[in-house]
Amino acid sequence: MAELSTIARPYTKAAFETALEQKALDKWSEMLALAAQATQDEQVSTLLSNPALGSDQKAELILEICSGMSEQVQNFVKILAENNRLLVLPEISSLFDRFKAEQQKSVDVEVTSAFKLTKEQQTKLVQALGKKLDREVNITSSVDKSLIGGLLIKTEDLVIDGSIRGKLSKLSEALT
């Protein structure tokens, strides 16, 4: 995984700087996600791994699947094809979205609770997390009754386990 990240980082930085210059972060993010999704298809992945196909043919395959790309994104895909890096597109897309979130000072937070959160609870949670993380918070919530009570909050590099299940688990570990 670290190797993919290492390979993807310079391409991602170049794409991000170009998108930032063009004030088109959302458009680039969308196009990279679409191209990444295309490369993850089993048949497409097999074709992209085929050494009999040239880089132009591989680039055209992606561009045909992902019609409507801007000229700059098309050129980016062609460069990836020339360097035999099309299969790294999912990692590039993921890194690009992280750079975008950092630039826009926003973070996606996944909240799991034992019971459905009300709008008021979600609003308070967004405000509290926004203050703690110093970012705009985009919240996605789900329900997991096995938590018994409390919340499990996850973001890229932070996990806050305030669930009853988590506290019981820690207590059990401490007692053994």
Distance CA 88, CA 8 (A): 6
Dihedral pair phi/psi, residue 139, rounded to 5°: -105, 140
Distance CA 30, CA 96 (A): 10
Q: Could you report the per-residue pLDDT of 93-102, keeping only the tens digit for each?
A: 999 999 998 8
| pLDDT at position 102 | 87
Dihedral pair phi/psi, residue 158, rounded to 5°: -140, 135
Residue 141: how many other CB atoms lie within 10 Å: 16
| pLDDT at position 3 | 86
Q: Could you report the per-residue pLDDT of 98-120, keeping only the tens digit for each?
A: 999 889 888 889 999 999 999 99
Nearest to 147 by CA among 132, 128, 131, 167: 167
Low-confidence ranges of the chain (pLDDT < 50): 1
Contacts of 147 by beta carbon, 8 Å cutoff, 6+ apart: 112, 113, 114, 163, 164, 165, 166
| pLDDT at position 2 | 55
Q: How many CA atoms lie within 13 A of 39 on its CB side?
A: 25
| pLDDT at position 4 | 86
Distance CA 60, CA 65 (A): 8
Cα-based distances in Å from 42 to 37, 38, 161: 10, 9, 36
| pLDDT at position 123 | 94
Antiparallel, parallel or unpaired: β 136-143 and 158-161: unpaired
| pLDDT at position 134 | 87
